[in-house]
């Protein structure tokens, strides 16, 4: 993977780690001080909005849990795959901005669960196949849209940040390629 792509995805992942999401407190907990930040106090059953990297630690320690809406699961992936399959190459459905960071974390979580529960291997394989289907379908659409005249903002809003980056890179590459292909021998257009 090129350094540019790797750096872009890492940067978007860093943004996700620092984005805020909602959790539900599992128990009462007094204020916690972390690296110059204060979170809490938490009251059992109440919802709070906290940065993802903090949420991960609160969940690990049993203080809080993710809201169901904040997690990605196999059912959501099946629904996404179905939507992508029924649309034509020029149609693309809107994905949540945080789809890919959540997907990566979901896959890591499933892989870790396999060590404790080997029966999770089947679910991991199904989710892996769904993921490949979704990515391949969206890639075909992105390439098709990038090879056409510039897309409207309405279409671009349906892309995630990772997909917008990819679209712009492919669009620019194709535009440059067309320009050079159409030059005659003397270098004139």
Nearby residues of 76 by Cβ (< 8 Å), 6 or more positions away: none
pLDDT (0 to 100) of residue 187 = 54
**CA–CA gap between residue 187 and residue 189 (Å, rounded):** 7
Q: What is the pLDDT of residues 115-161, one digit of tens each?
A: 888 888 999 999 999 999 999 999 999 999 998 887 778 888 899 99
pLDDT (0 to 100) of residue 22 = 92
Q: How many CB atoms lie within 10 A of CB 170?
A: 16
- Do residues 21 and 52 make contact, with C-beta atoms less than 8 angstroms apart? yes
User: Helices 3-17 and 161-181 sit at what angle, rounded to 10 degrees?
Assistant: 160
Structural domains of the chain sorted by starting position, each given as residue range(s) with its CATH number in brackets: 3-70 (3.40.5.50), 74-181 (1.20.58.1030)
Identify the CA nearest to 54 among candidates 11, 20, 97, 96. Answer: 20
| E-assigned strand segments in the chain | 20-25, 32-34, 37-39, 47-51, 64-66
pLDDT (0 to 100) of residue 181 = 86
pTM (predicted TM-score): 0.84
pLDDT (0 to 100) of residue 185 = 59
- Tell me the β-bridge partners of 48: 23
- Tell me the β-bridge partners of 34: 37
Give yes or no for residue 188 having a pLDDT over 70.
no
Q: What is the pLDDT of residues 3-59, one digit of tens each?
A: 788 898 999 999 999 999 999 999 999 988 877 888 889 999 999 999 999 998 899
Alpha carbon separation from 125 to 81, 111, 119 (Å, rounded): 15, 10, 11
Give yes or no for residue 1 having a pLDDT over 70.
no
Place of tokens 């769904």: 130
Q: Work out the pLDDT band at 186, boundaries 50, 70, 90.
A: low
Averaged pLDDT of the chain:
89
pLDDT (0 to 100) of residue 80 = 93
Q: What is the pLDDT of residues 47-94, one digit of tens each?
A: 999 999 999 889 999 999 998 888 899 999 999 999 998 887 778 899
- Do residues 94 and 158 make contact, with C-beta atoms less than 8 angstroms apart? yes
Radius of gyration in angstroms for the set of CA atoms belonging to the chain, rounded to a whole number: 21
pLDDT (0 to 100) of residue 88 = 77
């Amino acid at each position: 993977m090129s350094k540019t792509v790797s750096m872009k995805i890492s940067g978007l992942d860093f943004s996700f780690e620092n984005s805020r999401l909602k959790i539900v407190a599992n128990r009462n907990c007094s204020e916690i001080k972390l690296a110059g930040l204060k979170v809490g106090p938490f009251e059992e059953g109440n919802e709070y909005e906290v940065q993802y990297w903090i949420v991960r630690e609160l969940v690990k320690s049993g203080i809080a849990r993710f809201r169901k809406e904040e997690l990605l699961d196999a059912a959501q992936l099946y629904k996404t795959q179905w939507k992508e399959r029924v649309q034509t190459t020029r149609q693309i459905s809107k994905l949540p901005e945080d789809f890919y960071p959540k997907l990566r974390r979901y896959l890591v979580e499933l892989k870790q669960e396999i060590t404790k529960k080997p029966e999770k291997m089947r679910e991991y394989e199904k989710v892996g196949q769904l993921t490949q289907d979704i990515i391949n379908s969206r890639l075909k659409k992105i390439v098709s849209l990038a090879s056409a005249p510039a897309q409207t903002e309405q279409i671009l809003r349906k892309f995630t940040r990772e997909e917008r980056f990819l679209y712009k890179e492919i669009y620019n590459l194709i535009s440059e390629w067309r320009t050079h292909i159409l030059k005659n021998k003397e270098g004139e257009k």
